[in-house]
Amino acid sequence: MVEPTTVPLLATRLLKSVPSSFLLMAIAMAFLPPSLLVSLLILLPISTVAQSNGNITVGDSLTAAANSSSWLSPSGEFAFGFRPHNDRDFFLLSIWFAKIPDKTIVWYANGDKPAPGGSKVALTADRGLVLTDPRGQQLWSSQTIIGTVASGVMTDAGNFVLEDREFNKAWESFNSPTDTLLPTQNLERGGVLSSRQSETNFSKGRFQLRLQQDGNLVLNTINLPTDYANAPYYASGTTSSDDTNPSSPGRELVFNESGYMFILRENDQRFPLKQGQQVESSSDFYFRATLNFDGVFTQYSHPKAPNSNRSWSSHWSQPENICVSSLVEAGIGVCGYNSICGLKEDQRPMCQCPPGYSLLDPDDRYGSCKPDFIQGCEEDRLGRPGEDLYTWVDLTNTDWPTSDYVLLTPYTEDRCRQSCLEDCMCAVAIFRLGDTCWKKKLPLSNGRVDSNLNGGKALIKIRKNNSTLPVPDPRFDQAPELKKKNQDTLILIGSVLLGGSVFVNLILILAVCLGFSFIYHNKLQKIIANASSVQLNLRCFTYKELEEATDGFKEELGKGAFGVVYKGKIQMGSSVHVAVKKLNNSFQDSEREFRTEVSVIGQTYHKNLVRLLGFCDEGQQRLLVYEFLSNGTLAGFLFGDLKPSWKRRIEIAIGIARGLLYLHEECSSPIIHCDIKPQNILLDDYYNARIADFGLAKLLMMNQSHTNTAIRGTKGYVAPDWFRNMPITAKVDVYSYGVMLLEIICCRKSVRMESDLEDQAILTDWAYDCYQEGTLDALVEYDVEALDDRKRLEKFVKVAIWCIQEDPSLRPTMRKVTQMLEEIVEVLAPPCPSPFSKPG
């Protein structure tokens, strides 16, 4: 029973929540004839369903799915619910502008943990809003701590509010902002806005807007993954020590209904965030103030008119030039290390790598850059005496102000260049003010273009030959000393011989000559062998070195047809993690043949191949040393619990195709891999595909190779050519790639014998059936992201079917495969891949 004292309160609350159109309709109905009133009452439920007053009751829920419903504000201007995330089949619990085309998000709950499809958000009495995944595991909650929640409301201000039975606010999104403020949403002392990592990545970014306890509004960077705050690159100065208002620090950042933003001081004076703010009418425009992912805090407006072609317009930004303002003493600025920040017309930063450098992560335009050449003291020392190793690229008004390590003044520009050229630590020299030279070392930080440098030059040192320089074999360095020692021994023996009889002397001279001839011949052979490894940029390790590097071959990374792989750490200028492959005893080739094949592998260099760093050839012990890649195999990536994003799978498939094209056609000695499968594809730090174990099949005896690659009783990665006594060509790799491409498309193994559906057990057969029947939805198990890109999905399936043709002559080359995947050439409809084995 409702208490009498609460009836007026409830009535008032209900009247407030009812749209004015409903009130007018109710008044009009009081004066209508009974017959017409009955007709209207029949239609009334239909109208009620179409309206929304923004109220949500305990127990209501939303499910994450494509085109899922949302909770609207009374005017329909704001919506609360799930928005599709940009990576994989995931969703973001968020609030957005519902009436504008781009559905701009203004608040989000789970940026660091996007919700998989099928997740649910529910309004509960004890915990408020609770977001759970399809298995019921909690991903996020509103963490309500005051009272018991009775209802929720999505307001027309864009604020989602949870209320108790007395309509007191128990929680509201305005008090838990993410990267955006809306009109009437204020930021009190201690309040923080955090940027996203990128335009499409909603994880916590590097930039913060904070109203500090001393009343100062600041923008600063943090050193992720910690919350350590660097010195501000913008500060309002509204502290108690402010000369203009010494006793009145900032109390609150206010964003009023008119779109005007200011800091309200304790004495109620206003400090405008931007002088001369001009704002349109709030009745005609939406407003928001967002801390962008690049660190610029900007106020925007957007017309409310439904037919307007305008998008969000920027009114003002802080700071005006973030490239110059965002100087960080420890860490990086707006752009990553070795990058240069420049300002675009909209006052937003643009990051670029200097000449001779490229992005460490090609997908992160604001990330760090790496030199495309080898530079270091050891590398410079190994250059030929007198050789001019470097060239220069000059940039004006460019500087990395926090990377200095030497200041030379007075100095001329020529002397500045020469000093940097002779200094192996120097990466860049800055020449300014007519006689001043700063030398800078890597990594370069806080790079920016600044017109205040008055034409100062950045002299960037770039290596002419960007190949890796050889690491000398210790035995090679000992050759001069050994030669001198041998000469001293000859002189001593000659002196003794002169004192004996002629006959004895002749005998002894002959014996000594034969002995030295034998020693010299062996030494020469070893020097030649080691020199060949030096020319290949490969290091010749001893077995003991690799045993120590792997801690006695302790940590096993994997095992395959060619041997066992162990994790290790070696010193190559610095400590480097490596993967050491201990080859099977079946490698019985002669020493010369082994080194010949290793030389072929060592001469390959491509971004989609795993790089060989060195080898060991000591007695029966033969080992190969590769770079270590942190993200494991493609098999582990594809066949895990979560399905990788469609975009990432596309990139991986194209990367593998490019690597195989290089092996087949572009390296100095063409290589047939013979064992392409997901276990032999590794992923680097940025999930770039890198082909491993290429060239090893040729090191095995033919019968051993055939035995290890055949899959008994099932169709796997092996081309039919192996079983038909046909010549083995590069087309066997094309077949294996086609099988693996289907695995990448479907995220399932090529053979699934445990499946209850017999027609789906062999992926190659089922894929062709799905293609023929037009049921690609089932093939990808209704992967929403892949089906949204149906045109490319169908193209990739057709390419895979061309690759797995039983007739090798019908299979395309890897060049043609790459061109089809990159949409350079058209992909025609493929024939049945196995016409002789398929039933007619």
Q: How confident is the model at residue 512 (pLDDT cuts 50, 70, 90)?
A: low
Q: Is 582 annotated as a binding residue?
A: yes
How is residue 70 written in tokens? 């949302």
Q: What is the pLDDT of residues 353-406, one digit of tens each?
A: 998 898 888 878 888 999 988 777 877 776 654 457 888 888 888 999 888 899
Q: What are residue 678's phi and psi, to 5 degrees?
A: -60, -30
How is residue 258 written in tokens? 């008119």
Q: Strands 369-371, 204-211: parallel, antiparallel or unpaired by DSSP? A: unpaired
What dihedral do alpha carbons 627, 630, 633, 638 form, nearest 10°? -150
The reply to whether 620 and 667 lie within a common domain is no
The reply to whether 431 and 511 lie within a common domain is no
Statement: residue 289 has pLDDT above 90 = yes
Q: Encode burial over 612-639: b for 16+ CB neighbours within 10 A, e otherwise.
A: bbbbbbeeeebbbbbbbbeeebbbebbe
Highest mean pLDDT, choosing among 406-420, 440-454, 518-532: 406-420
Packing angle of the helix pair 790-803, 814-821 (nearest 10 deg) = 170
Please give the sequence-ordered ranges of beta strands (E in DSSP) within 749-832, or none if there are none.
none
Please, are residues 275 and 237 in contact by the beta-carbon 8 Å criterion? no
Statement: residue 83 has pLDDT above 50 = yes
Domain range for 515 is: 474-535
The reply to whether 620 and 717 lie within a common domain is no
Selected catalytic residue, list 380, 675, 733, 783: 675
How is residue 38 written in tokens? 């009955």
The reply to whether 840 and 757 lie within a common domain is yes
Please, are residues 581 and 615 in contact by the beta-carbon 8 Å criterion? no
How is residue 187 written in tokens? 């930021």
Contacts of 822-830 with CB under 8 Å at 24 or more apart are: 822/654, 823/795, 827/795, 827/798, 827/799, 827/802, 828/798, 829/798, 830/771, 830/798, 830/801, 830/802, 830/805
Distance (Å, rounded) from C-alpha 459 to C-alpha 416?
9
The region of weakest confidence among 135-139, 501-505, 509-513, 533-537 is: 533-537
Distance (Å, rounded) from C-alpha 472 to C-alpha 787?
54
Average pLDDT score over the chain? 79
Q: How confident is the model at residue 586 (pLDDT cuts 50, 70, 90)?
A: low
The reply to whether 802 and 667 lie within a common domain is yes
Neighbour tally for 7: CB within 10 Å: 10
Q: What is the pLDDT of residue 216?
A: 92
Determine, yes or no, domain membership for 207: no
Determine, yes or no, domain membership for 387: yes
* Number of compact structural domains in the chain: 5
DSSP state, 394?
A: E
The reply to whether 557 and 662 lie within a common domain is no
The verdict on whether 589 is a catalytic residue reads: no
Statement: residue 477 has pLDDT above 90 = no
Determine, yes or no, domain membership for 667: yes
Please, are residues 530 and 473 in contact by the beta-carbon 8 Å criterion? yes
Q: What is the pLDDT of residue 650?
A: 94
The reply to whether 687 and 831 lie within a common domain is yes
The reply to whether 791 and 644 lie within a common domain is yes
Please, are residues 657 and 821 in contact by the beta-carbon 8 Å criterion? yes
CATH number, domain with residue 792: 1.10.510.10
Distances (CA, A) of 704 to 179, 562, 589, 602, 697: 60, 10, 13, 23, 9
Is 528 strand, coil or helix? Answer: helix
How is residue 224 written in tokens? 């992720």
Residue finishing a domain among 463, 483, 517: 463
Determine, yes or no, domain membership for 297: no
The reply to whether 454 and 501 lie within a common domain is no
Q: Strands 357-359, 349-352: parallel, antiparallel or unpaired by DSSP? A: unpaired
Share of the chain above pLDDT 90, in %: 35
CATH number, domain with residue 600: 3.30.200.20
Residue finishing a domain among 463, 494, 524: 463
The reply to whether 591 and 671 lie within a common domain is no
Give strand pairing partners of 239.
Answer: none
Q: What is the pLDDT of residue 831?
A: 92
Q: What is the pLDDT of residue 537?
A: 56
Neighbour tally for 103: CB within 10 Å: 12
Residue finishing a domain among 535, 552, 586: 535
Statement: residue 188 has pLDDT above 90 = yes
Distances (CA, A) of 559 to 562, 584, 836: 8, 10, 36
Q: Which of 753, 718, 711 is nearest to 739 (CA)?
A: 718
Statement: residue 277 has pLDDT above 50 = yes
The reply to whether 664 and 571 lie within a common domain is no
